[in-house]
A and B are shown apart, each in its own frame.
Chain A
């Protein structure tokens, strides 16, 4: 059974992760984003991510899409904390250097349109931290997201170290 849908966008498509994506997934996760996450992500973790992506979608807790452009996997667009009753979810964009900003925005727009149409979601948010880089924040702002809060020290990076989390969101009109 196919739990992760395929969604076309101008320039490419969002599609389920496959075993062929493992090298790209490893490349994407060569960064430490939270306490306890190794920067040396490997094939084994990537394989587990693959099965997790199916489980998340099957239980409607989230989704993980590969962003494919010109037949190549150039990033991931993921949904976490999907709450069907409050019609909201958290979006995470992981772009490889080859993925242009235009295609990043198109992928976000396509995902939102699909999720609104199919699941009636209306509250899309994303978390940004300084190490993500200003370009990531700018991409989301161009995709219609606005800054709502700076959650001070909301993410732990070590025993006694914390970083601020900036919350951006895009709220669609109720149907």
Chain B
């Protein structure tokens, strides 16, 4: 099974040792992590630690992380992950860290499609969840347009900088019409 994917514009691939600096540059950008929410990285050693955790979680079959490399420039413009694999229930959670310049519907759909193909078709998962903040001015509307369904909210999910965070929960099912149509069209 090949975990590395490619699209017209991007390589969606696992990280290498040489990716520490680009990963740090990505996750040190406050705009990339603003609506997750989490603090931006401040030292490169954090990226090294993060890379180690990504490998450990993959080896434990708990998560898979890919860097998104722009083919033309070779720049790492994002990271996408399937986290919290629940192999019994057939679920996983999506997470996308992406530079604001690439955060538009066409790019996100292009990046998501091979990852969702892998999730639904190769890993046989049934439900993919995406937790978003309603304060995010872009993503909730975008993921709904792509075909995710708004299931409701997870209130007071955790505390961040003195505020209790409510997540909006979106889901896509393997048998959703939007996904089945995407499979036929070979794109989201």
Contact = CB atoms under 8 A, between A and B. Distances in A.
Q: Do A and B come from one complex?
A: yes
A162 B156 CA distance: 27
A174 B127 CA distance: 33
Contact of B171 (A86, A87, A151, A155): A151
A152 B127 contact: yes
Interface of B is mostly: strand
Nearest to B89: A156
B156 A167 contact: no
B46 interface: no
Contacts of A155: 89
Interface residues of B, number: 20
B153 A148 contact: yes
Interface of B: 88-91, 126-127, 149, 151-159, 164, 169, 171, 173
Contacts of B151: 149-152
Interface of A: 35, 86-88, 122-123, 147-156, 162, 167, 169, 171, 174
B88 A171 contact: no
A157 to B, nearest CB: 10
Nearest to B149: A152
Contacts of A147: 152
Contact of A35 (B88, B157, B173): B88
A152 B156 contact: no
Given A149-B169, A151-B169, A162-B127, A156 B90 contact: yes
Contact of A156 (B88, B156, B169, B173): B88
A88 B90 contact: no
A169 B152 contact: no
A128 B126 CA distance: 20
